[in-house]
């Protein structure tokens, strides 16, 4: 079995599944700092759990901001997220970390208009 996913990684994957596609958007949704989000995104991309692409420079230039790197969940990432959610769901019933795990597992993370 591969390495189990922790709470922060599950929160990031969950945000991506729910339509949050780039770093600052994911940080806003999860409340995690950039020092957690960006290295985790990089590791997940390397492990094949995410696919990433850079947006066109013209779009970023037109909006006068840096280019965004967009992330999409892959099939292996989707399976890993489902397995982690099942594992963490069991923990919510048996662990003092109940409230922390519940916060990660809540499915109220869809962006406006995505429901």
The overall pTM is greater than 0.85: no
32-82 residue pLDDT tens: 999 999 999 999 999 999 999 999 999 999 999 999 999 999 999 999 999
Angle between the 23-30 and 7-17 helix axes, to the nearest 10 degrees? 120
Give me the torsion for CA of 91, 95, 98, 104, rounded to 10°: -40
Q: How confident is the prediction for the chain on average, in pLDDT? A: 85
Architecture in CATH for domain 7-105: Orthogonal Bundle (1.10)
Query: For residues 110 and 115, what is the distance between their CA atoms, to the nearest angstrom?
Result: 6
The full set of domain ranges for the chain reads: 7-105
pLDDT at 86 over 90: no
């Amino acid at each position: 079995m591969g390495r189990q996913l922790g709470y922060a990684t599950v929160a990031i994957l969950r945000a991506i599944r729910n339509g949050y596609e780039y770093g600052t958007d994911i940080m806003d949704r999860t409340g995690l700092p950039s020092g957690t989000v960006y290295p985790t995104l990089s590791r997940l991309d390397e492990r094949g759990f995410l696919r990433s692409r850079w947006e066109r420079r013209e779009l970023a230039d037109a909006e006068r901001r840096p280019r965004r790197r967009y992330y999409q969940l892959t099939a292996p990432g989707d399976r890993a997220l489902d397995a982690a959610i099942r594992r963490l769901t069991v923990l919510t019933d048996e662990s003092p970390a109940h409230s922390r795990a519940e916060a990660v597992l809540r499915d109220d993370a869809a962006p406006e208009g995505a429901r």
